[in-house]
């Protein structure tokens, strides 16, 4: 890799540093030399000691201080803590956003290609806001709502058109323009990955939506978007009913299923793949990936966390380095 693979600290009371330590054990020495962590040096050191994970660390306070070393380079963002897994909530939001903002700025300045961020708790970081990290970074990158949250597996992926909003707000948030923008972003990304036109299955919103009832979202919003996409030579097919699409995904060789709301596609996808997936934000001015799971507070500090999704994220990220 020509640039550093950058990993950004997540929730300090989470399994984030545990899965990082476990993932680093599985990487080659060459790969470890090109990893930069943005986060608290002291917290990382304390958590790894408690977990009995031995990873040599090298602390820096500025990106300009980077040196070639066999140790994990940590761009230090200090945070107050009592013990390894007991950081007061009042410090967490500021800490996480500072780490993310540093990685964002480094990405925008082309110092790094992008970053993998460890799990966060949206209730703490974006309290009372109907957004997540996808929307936060999209706003900073001024994407004009063309950003996409993709849950990616090497064989198959899913994308929700709306993300972190309430179900009652989904219908009024859907527009043909929004669907068109997000599917174009999805198509362009997958074309780069697969070196061919992807096959994109589009879900409707309503039960038995392939009946195309009058005044339905399928007729008024989704079909007009599909017609425009087909004119752009994009293989966007549908709308399909959500209750059978995952049964038929292999039969019809769909590369991605695009749903109208978050759980319409994420719930069945996670039932199939569990940790064998990553969360990629498409449409930013850089690459951003996160493990496809939460903070794991219930097992934090116990050594039980599964690093598979983070390993998948790191390996995918390395393709672009």
Structure tokens at 267: 């719930």
Confidence check: pLDDT of 49 > 50: yes
Mean pLDDT, to the nearest integer, of 314-319?
Answer: 83
CB-side neighbour CA atoms (13 Å) of 218: 19
Residue 2 pLDDT > 90: no
The predicted structure's pLDDT at residue 179: 97
Q: Confidence band (pLDDT; 50, 70, 90) for 198?
A: very high
Q: Average pLDDT of the chain?
A: 92
CA atoms within 13 A on the CB side of 137: 31
The whole-number average pLDDT for the span 247-260 is 91
Q: Which residue has the higher pLDDT, 209 or 217?
A: 217
Q: What is the predicted pLDDT for the residue at 168?
A: 95
- As a whole number of angstroms, the distance between CA 218 and CA 238 comes to 9
> Which of 46-55, 59-68, 86-95, 242-251 has the least mean pLDDT?
242-251
Residues 280 and 134: their CA atoms lie apart, in Å, by 9
Length of the chain: 321
Q: pTM for the complete prediction?
A: 0.89
Taking CA atoms, 177 is separated from 170, 221, 224, in Å, by 15, 9, 9
- Cα–Cα distance, 160 to 224 (Å, whole number): 18
Domains in the chain: ranges and CATH: 1-141+284-321 (3.40.718.10), 144-283 (3.40.718.10)
Contact 221, 174 (CB under 8 A): yes
Residues paired with residue 204 on neighbouring β-strands, in sequence order? none
Question: In terms of C-beta density within 10 A (0-12 exposed, 13-18 middle, 19 or more buried), how is residue 71 classed?
Answer: middle
- Give the model's confidence band at 275: pLDDT under 50 very low, under 70 low, under 90 confident, else very high: confident
pLDDT at residue 1 greater than cutoff 50: no
Mean pLDDT of 1-21: 91
Average pLDDT of the segment spanning 81-109: 94
pLDDT of residue 212: 76
Q: Classify the phi-psi angles of 69: left when phi > 0, otherwise alpha if psi is within -120 to 50, otherwise beta.
A: beta
The pLDDT score that the predictor gives to residue 321 is: 56
Q: Which comes out higher in pLDDT, residue 318 or 74?
A: 74
């Amino acid at each position: 890799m020509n640039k550093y693979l950058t990993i950004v600290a997540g929730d300090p009371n989470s399994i984030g540093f545990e899965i990082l330590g476990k993932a680093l054990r599985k990487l080659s020495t060459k790969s470890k030399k090109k990893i930069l962590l943005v986060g608290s040096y002291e917290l990382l050191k304390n958590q790894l000691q408690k977990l009995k994970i031995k990873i040599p660390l090298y602390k820096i306070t500025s990106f300009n201080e980077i040196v070639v070393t066999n140790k994990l380079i940590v761009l230090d963002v200090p945070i107050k803590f009592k013990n390894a897994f007991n950081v007061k909530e009042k410090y967490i939001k500021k800490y996480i956003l500072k780490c993310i903002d540093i990685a964002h700025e480094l990405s925008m300045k082309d110092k790094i290609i992008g970053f993998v961020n460890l799990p966060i708790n949206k209730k703490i970081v974006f309290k009372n806001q109907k957004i997540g990290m996808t929307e936060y970074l999209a706003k900073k990158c001024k994407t004009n709502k063309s950003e996409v949250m993709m849950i990616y597996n090497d064989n198959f992926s899913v994308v929700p058109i709306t993300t972190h909003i309430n179900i009652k707000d989904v219908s009024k948030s859907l527009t043909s323009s929004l669907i068109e923008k997000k599917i174009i972003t999805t198509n362009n990304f997958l074309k780069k990955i697969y070196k061919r036109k992807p096959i994109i299955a589009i879900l409707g919103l309503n039960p038995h939506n392939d009946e195309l009832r009058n005044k339905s979202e399928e007729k008024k919003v989704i079909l007009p978007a599909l017609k425009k996409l087909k004119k752009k030579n994009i293989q966007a097919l549908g709308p399909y009913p959500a209750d059978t699409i995952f049964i038929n995904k292999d039969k019809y060789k769909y590369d991605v299923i695009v749903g109208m709301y978050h759980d319409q596609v994420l719930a069945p996808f996670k039932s199939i793949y569990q940790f064998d997936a990553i969360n990629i934000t498409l449409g930013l001015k850089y690459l951003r990936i996160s493990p496809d799971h939460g903070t794991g507070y219930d097992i934090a500090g116990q050594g039980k966390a599964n690093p598979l999704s983070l390993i998948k994220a790191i390996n995918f990220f390395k393709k672009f380095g």
